[in-house]
Structures are given as C-alpha cells and as structure tokens.
Amino acid sequence: MKKKNLKEIWIVRYCDDFKIFCRDHKSAQKIYKATRLWLKERLDLEVSTEKSKITNLRKNYTEFLGFKLKVKLKSNKYVCKSKMSDKAKRKTIINLKNQIKINTKPKSLGGTDEYKNLVWLTTHVHKLIHSTNLDTIAKYLNVLNLDKQGLKKVNSLRKLVGNSVI
C-alpha cells in the first residue's frame, strides 16, 4: 500500500455511526476532509462538527456505541482497551437506583411489583425454596444450618411458590 500512495485506513461501522482509524495525523486529516466531502456530495449528509474529531488513541479516549476506547502498548503491539462511557455509566446507575427504589417496598405494603420484587438468593436457598423431595430438603437444611428466623423466611417463600412448610 505504501508504494501505491494509498492511505491505509480501517473503518468500523454500526448503523449510522462509524469510526475511521489511520496510522498518522496527516492521513487522518486528509481522510476526514475527504469523508466529509463525500458524505455531503454523494449522500447529502452533514457531518456534526461537535461529534466528529481527530483523536490520538495512544493519548486520549474516543467514544463509540457507549464505550470509551484507547490503545495501550502491550508486548510490542497496541491493544484496544475499552471502558463504559461516562454517559452509559450515568444511565446504568440511574436505572439501578430506580430498580432499588421500586423494590424497597413489598407489594403487600403498597409497593409495585414491576420487577417482580427481586430477591437475591444463594443457590442453596433457592433450591431449598423450590424443592419438593424430602432428601433434597434435608440436604440443604443441613448445608445452610438455618436459625429460627431464617427458617421462617424460607417457609414464607415456600408458601409463595406453592410448596409446603418445612
């Protein structure tokens, strides 16, 4: 490619978003101008100047599809490192906080059951709640070594799923 005077580039595309990667800043500037011109003339699309920029991935992050991308040197090769973008992180935190708010009140006390009042259980407790085999119940009771209050909680959950009290 170098002998043919062509620019070496890589294009990553998803729907209407795309990133163009080049080896050096000079090539990046030429490709950026050519791409803007081509999109304008052929497809009659305007390129957003606030979203479009040339970035050195060895020094700074770039965002694409909710990820922050940067390259790091690893045993004589550059490897892409990715993280959640700040915007995606904020959205996820807000979503998790909303789920926590919804699940603070049980449905019987006026809470909503939008997320089926998620209860985080260990595998053993889950198997004990749903088990009908007496040997399995005895096995998990022995493993868990529940006190009176723990057994009461398990029995209330067993009633909810339609199983008999232990």
The number of C-alpha atoms within 13 Å of 21 and in the hemisphere containing its C-beta is 12
pLDDT of residue 145: 85
> What band does 81 get if pLDDT is binned at 50, 70 and 90?
very high
Q: Which two tokens stand for residue 78?
A: 């550059």
pLDDT in tens, 9-49: 888 888 878 888 888 888 888 988 998 899 899 989 888 88
Percent of the chain whose pLDDT exceeds 70: 85
User: Whole-angstrom Cα distance, residue 159 to residue 157?
Assistant: 5
Question: Tokens for 104?
Answer: 């603070």
Q: What is the pLDDT of residue 14?
A: 82
Q: Which of 36, 53, 84 is where one domain is finished? A: 84
Residue at 163: amino acid letter:
N
Q: Which of 84, 107, 139 is the last residue of a domain?
A: 84
Full residue range of the structural domain in which residue 148 is found:
89-160
In this prediction, residue 143 carries a pLDDT of 86
Supply the mean pLDDT for the chain. 83
Instruction: Tell me if 165 is assigned to some domain.
Output: no
In a domain, 55, yes or no: yes
Q: Is residue 38 part of a domain?
A: yes
Q: How far is CA 75 from CA 8, 21, 79, 111, in A?
A: 23, 21, 9, 55
Report the number of distinct structural domains present in the chain.
2
Question: Which pLDDT tens digit goes with each residue over 106-143?
Answer: 666 666 655 555 555 678 888 888 888 889 889 988 88
Q: Are residue 76 and residue 101 in the same domain, yes or no?
A: no
Which of 84, 117, 142 is the C-terminal boundary of a domain?
84
Q: What is the DSSP letter of 105?
A: S
Say yes or no: 11 and 68 in one domain. Answer: yes
